[in-house]
Structure 1
Amino acid sequence: MSELTGLRALVTGGAAGIGLATAQLLATSGAQVAVLDLAPDDLPAGLRAYQADVTDDISVRSATDAAADALGGIDILVNNAGIGAIGSVEDNDDAQWHRVLDVNVLGMVRATRAALPHLRRSERAAIVNIGSIAATAGLPQRALYSASKGAVLSLTLAMAADYVREGIRVNCVNPGTADTPWVGRLLDQADDPAAERAALNTRQPMGRLVTADEVAAAIVYLASPAAASVTGTALAVDGGMQGLRLRPAGQ
């Protein structure tokens, strides 16, 4: 990861959870890092903070240009900003569908459009989109969220095809259920948080939730020159949830 020295990275939704873990790992690996977030407060030393709302194109363009000016350019864009949703297709109204798709899909579109002029000036340009196991596996009570992350997966492939000849690599990381503040809040709302956590642990073949640091490591690999021949790829960091079909324990 020493190859990141001298590179400039922009992380959306980088003030907490997977985004913050990624921003910190990029920085400790040698990159200069700017964070775009609705509330980029109290960031660790070494991370540049820029307030932006990914549903507002002007806000995103202004913050991206300011970050690029401060960093001297952008080599890496991590499209991490996103929100969750719970329910079947019957449970979320049109306004919530519009809101989640606006953040999770169009937010990536806006950030990418804003960063592309800067990425085109880089010799080691990379974009990493944050997807989800929900894009490739049917999960209960995640209809809206799954639809948004399925769109992210397809968007990643289309972007990779569009920009490969310009030297801009585009990949995505599909985490399993990660131990993040958002998941923690969901667990706190459950009737039996301990039982719900145990159920989530059991759902992943490795028997535990994915950590934010593990997801960050995958993101940083795909963003780094070490992955120079990797584009149009979805890297699962899900404890085997998507690919493994295990017998019940003891059989």
Structure 2
Amino acid sequence: MRLAGKTALVTAAGQGIGRACVLAMAAEGAEVWATDVNPKLLDGYDGVAGVRAVPLDVLDKAAIARVVQVMPRVDVLFNCAGFVHNGTVLQASDADWEFAFQLNARAQFWTIQAVLPRMLANDEGRGRGSIINMASVCSSIKGLPNRFIYGASKAAVIGLTKSVAADFVGQGIRCNAICPGTVDTPSLQDRINAHDDPVAARKAFIARQPMGRLATAEEIAPLVVYLASEESVFATGQAFAVDGGITI
């Protein structure tokens, strides 16, 4: 059990990558606090050993603090919440830009700020914790068409990740980002269905993956488990691409 004795907090845990990672960490022995803004999406955790489902809106700073305060300890934070906007810079609105940076970046700032004091107090004040942030290959790593706001906000996540890692590298805290390619999730399906021709849209998403297929959420989860575990104890400040070859 690679995560035995660890307590993890996961945002956007109701479906997709968040849910796959909750189940994978619980299977490895972690006690996982699975949070989501939609309480109905958390119903599927009823009876799942090692998982506590808690409604949470990560755009509510006070709500984040309340959840963290009642956790017995915090060893792992997986910031999974996010949103994908479509369009170029000429199609971007101020409202979309503000929302993307609130959810994709500021929410991570808030959750990290809330859990860090708890992590620094671990191991009798010697500090120990792993923070894992959801970024994307569409970021400072690679530009993708029609992802102006999304790419900018995820580039901010990578910068945020490296800054936290640099500030706390000597205090037992690790901070890394994961950068998936295109993953077949309910969120992606919603975006596909928003197109006039969903079949063509799905083919286009697949076509940009050199492996010729989309990833599954379960194929992203092992990287999160690795970063949550002591196996990755020497890794911090990194942006780990798991992208099916997009960045080759």
Query: Do the structures match in fold with TM over 0.5?
Result: yes
Q: How does 1:50-199 map to 2 (within 5 A)?
A: 50-66=54-70, 68=71, 72-123=72-123, 124-135=128-139, 136-199=141-204
Shift of 1:89: 1.3
1:238 aligned onto 2:243: yes
Q: How many matched pairs? A: 238
Q: How far apart in 1 are the matches of 2:67 and 2:38?
A: 13
User: Cα offset for 1:206?
Assistant: 0.8
Q: Distance in 2 between matches of 1:162 and 1:130?
A: 19
RMSD of equivalent CA atoms: 1.2
Provide the rounded CA distance (Å) in 2 between the counterparts of 1:88 and 1:214.
30
Report the Cα distance in structure 2 between the residues aligned to 1:162 and 1:223, rounded to whole angstroms.
19
Give 1:36 deviation, angstroms: 2.0
Match of 2:44 in 1: 43
The range that moved more, 87-96 or 36-45, is: 36-45
Secondary structure, aligned partner of 1:30: coil
Instruction: State the alpha-carbon separation in 2 of the partners of residues 122 and 220 from structure 1.
Output: 20
User: 2:19 maps to which residue?
Assistant: 20
Partners of 1:152 and 1:140 in 2: how far apart? 19
SS in 2 for 1:35: strand
List 4+ stretches of structure 1 deviating above 4 A.
none
Per-residue deviation, 1:39: 1.7
How far did 1:204 drift? 1.0
AA aligned to 1:23 is V
How far is 1:121 from its partner? 2.3
- Partner of 2:99, secondary structure, is helix
* Uncovered stretches (5+) of structure 2, i.e. residues with no partner: none
Q: Which amino acid aligns with 1:55?
A: L
C-alpha distance in structure 2 between counterparts of 1:90 and 1:43, whole Å: 40
Cα deviation for residue 122 of structure 1 reads 2.5
Equivalent residues of 1:51, 1:63 under 8 A apart: no
Query: How many angstroms does 1:151 deviate by?
Result: 0.3
Secondary structure in structure 2 of the residue aligned to 1:90: helix
Q: Distance in 2 between matches of 1:51 and 1:197?
A: 31
* Bigger mean CA offset, 168-177 vs 82-91: 82-91
1:119 to partner: Cα distance: 1.1
SS of aligned partner of 1:4: coil
Between 191-200 and 160-169, report the one with greater CA deviation.
191-200
- 1:217 deviates by 1.1
**Percent of matched pairs sharing the same residue:** 40
> How big is the shift at 1:98?
0.8
Task: State the Cα distance separating 1:210 from its structure 2 match.
Answer: 1.3
Q: 1:212 Cα deviation (Å)?
A: 0.7
Deviation at 1:224, TM superposition (A): 0.7
The alpha-carbon deviation at position 57 of structure 1 amounts to 0.9
Unaligned stretches of 5+ residues in structure 1: 245-251
Amino acid at match of 1:113: Q
